[in-house]
Amino acid sequence: MDFTIERNTLLKPLGHIYSIVERRNTIPILSNVLIETNSSKVSFTATDMDMDIVEVTGCVVFNQGKITLAAHTLYDIVRKLPDGAEIKIELLDLNVQVSAGKSKFILPTLSVDDFPVMTEIEKGNEFSIESVDLASLIDNTKFAISSEETRYYLNGIFFHVPEPNKDKLRAVATDGHRLAQAEIPLPEGAEAMPGIILPRKAVGEIRKLTDGTDGKIKIIISSTKARFTFPNSVLTTKLIDGSFPDYQRVIPKENLNKLTVLNSDFSKAIDRVSTVSMEKSRAVKLSLNKNLLSLNVNSHDLGNASEDLEINYNHDDLDIGFNAKYLLDIASQIQGKEICKTSLDVMIAFYNFREMCLKFTLEFLLHLRNIDSVYYVLLFFPCNRLRSTNESIRSVLKTVKHAED
């Protein structure tokens, strides 16, 4: 094998490849990228056995062939070479030489025969989606993906066609504390699409591939895998084998408590007052009065902070608390100037006894609506330990009864 390629042309596919490959791997060949030249093209293939990617780009080929190289090492070399450099890669006996200008690297290689054979995806539902639409669905939901491995079915984005109208493609993600939902008009051919949970790692790689991609992306979905075909790349991933929870039960259907606030003012104010919040809870209290929103943070160790915002709100006074990070994550995804039609609900009260103490948890739900196609739900669990005195128990039971009524 012997070919030359411009540095930036090589860096782009390697940038997609190296994040799929694990730097430390119990199977050495999985740390490598398979490089294959053919005519005037070079293809790069990488896999972690759950996901694989093949990317093709142009080059000048002198001798065709196949080699494998350590993906991270090759990426680091190319990244540090000067912009515009002409890179030559050639096989020399049992090693590979990578050279550019006066720089020269001799790298070991592993047998091409040891590289895993990519399995074909079963025939399934097939349709195309605009790149910008797929990027929008991911951007508006990925921050709510759970990182808790015990609830593996939440470690991705749930893509499905919701009932009953079946005229939308919806993406949903939740970590149990917040829920993000976004949807677009149903792409042609996706009517029979089954609900799938796309893993977090695949979501990140697909989002990278949408950058700089114009036009449509072809998607094939089988019972266990999904394949995304871009102009110069093909990514195939296993799907999460599990059932996504019935998320629609936590989204309020008829809530009259709505407010409108300027998004930029809201996010900046939250960011300022949360400076003195505790690192673990990041709790911020929101006090709603007529056309006034007061943000308050009280920390025994770090001090207090407060800020008032003018809002559009004409309902009953309400005090409610949220994790500042969750609010900022949502505000960062809102494209317009306003967080419009924000509705606040106090949803559920539940309790249990432990070590003669009563842990009383109020589950607050914040439903933020940005545009017709994007919804955000925050589930926040501030816990207050109450001593198991008769007065405390009566207070809790009274609150629970009120919530049930």
Q: With 60 as the cut, is the pLDDT of residue 365 above it?
A: no
CATH topology of domain 252-404: DNA Polymerase III; Chain A, domain 2 (3.10.150)
Whole-number pLDDT of residue 77: 97
Q: With 70 as the cut, is the pLDDT of residue 112 above it?
A: yes
360: its two tokens: 């009383």
Q: How many helices (H) and strands (E) does the chain have?
A: 7, 26
| Cβ proximity of 75 and 15 under 8 Å | yes
Under DSSP, is residue 392 helix (H, G, I), strand (E, B) or coil?
A: helix
Whole-number pLDDT of residue 256: 73
Of residues 201 and 212, more confidence is placed in 201
Under DSSP, is residue 236 helix (H, G, I), strand (E, B) or coil?
A: strand
Under DSSP, is residue 24 helix (H, G, I), strand (E, B) or coil?
A: coil
Give the whole-number percent of the chain exceeding pLDDT 90. Answer: 60
Q: With 60 as the cut, is the pLDDT of residue 212 above it?
A: yes
**For residue 377, how many C-alpha atoms fall within 13 Å in the half-sphere facing its CB?**
23
Under DSSP, is residue 68 helix (H, G, I), strand (E, B) or coil?
A: strand
Q: What is the mean pLDDT of residues 81-93?
A: 94
Residues in contact with 26: Cβ distance below 8 Å, sequence separation at least 6, in sequence order? none
Pick the CATH number of 125-249 from 3.20.20.210, 3.30.1490.20, 3.10.150.10, 1.20.58.1030: 3.10.150.10
Q: With 60 as the cut, is the pLDDT of residue 376 above it?
A: no
| Cβ proximity of 60 and 36 under 8 Å | no
Q: What is the DSSP string of 277-325?
A: S-TTT-EEEEEEETTEEEEEEEETTTEEEEEEEE-B--S--EEEEEEHH
Whole-number pLDDT of residue 342: 43
Weakest mean pLDDT among 178-182, 206-210, 216-220, 372-376: 372-376
372: its two tokens: 């017709």
Weakest mean pLDDT among 53-62, 110-119, 376-385: 376-385
Q: What is the mean pLDDT of residues 261-275?
A: 91
Long-range pairs for 331-336 at CB < 8 Å and ≥24 separation?
331/263, 331/266, 331/267, 331/270, 332/267, 333/139, 333/140, 333/143, 333/180, 333/370, 333/374, 333/376, 334/263, 334/368, 334/370, 335/370, 335/371, 336/263, 336/370, 336/371
CATH topology of domain 2-114: DNA Polymerase III; Chain A, domain 2 (3.10.150)
Whether the ω angle into residue 164 lies within 30 degrees of 0, i.e. cis, is yes
Question: How distant is the alpha carbon of residue 96 from its chain centre?
Answer: 37
Whole-number pLDDT of residue 339: 56
Residues in contact with 355: Cβ distance below 8 Å, sequence separation at least 6, in sequence order? none
Long-range pairs for 162-167 at CB < 8 Å and ≥24 separation?
166/191
**For residue 265, how many C-alpha atoms fall within 13 Å in the half-sphere facing its CB?**
15
148 phi/psi in degrees, rounded to 5: -85, 115
Q: What is the mean pLDDT of residues 211-230?
A: 93
Q: With 90 as the cut, is the pLDDT of residue 240 above it?
A: yes
Question: In 10 A of CB 153, how many CB atoms?
Answer: 14
Mean per-residue pLDDT over the chain, rounded: 83
Task: Give pLDDT tens digits for 145-166.
Answer: 999 989 999 999 999 999 887 8
Q: What is the mean pLDDT of residues 103-115?
A: 96
Of residues 402 and 305, more confidence is placed in 305
Q: Which of 109, 103, 69, 76 lies closest to 88 in space, CA to CA?
A: 103
Cα 378 to Cα 95: distance, rounded to the nearest angstrom = 54
Q: Which single residue is written with the structure tokens 């539940």?
A: 350
Whole-number pLDDT of residue 337: 58
Give me the residue spans of the domains in the chain.
2-114, 125-249, 252-404
Q: From the CA atom positions of the chain, what is the Rg in Å?
A: 26
Q: What is the mean pLDDT of residues 101-105?
A: 95
Whole-number pLDDT of residue 33: 96
Whole-number pLDDT of residue 384: 34
Q: What is the mean pLDDT of residues 194-200?
A: 96
Task: Give pLDDT tens digits for 320-356.
Answer: 888 999 999 988 887 765 555 444 433 322 222 222 2
Q: Which single residue is written with the structure tokens 């009120």?
A: 402
| Cβ proximity of 127 and 186 under 8 Å | no
Q: What is the mean pLDDT of residues 266-276?
A: 93
Quick one: pLDDT band at residue 290, thresholds 50, 70, 90?
A: confident
Q: With 90 as the cut, is the pLDDT of residue 360 above it?
A: no
Question: In 10 A of CB 91, how many CB atoms?
Answer: 16
Same fold, 2-114 and 252-404: yes
Cα 361 to Cα 78: distance, rounded to the nearest angstrom = 53
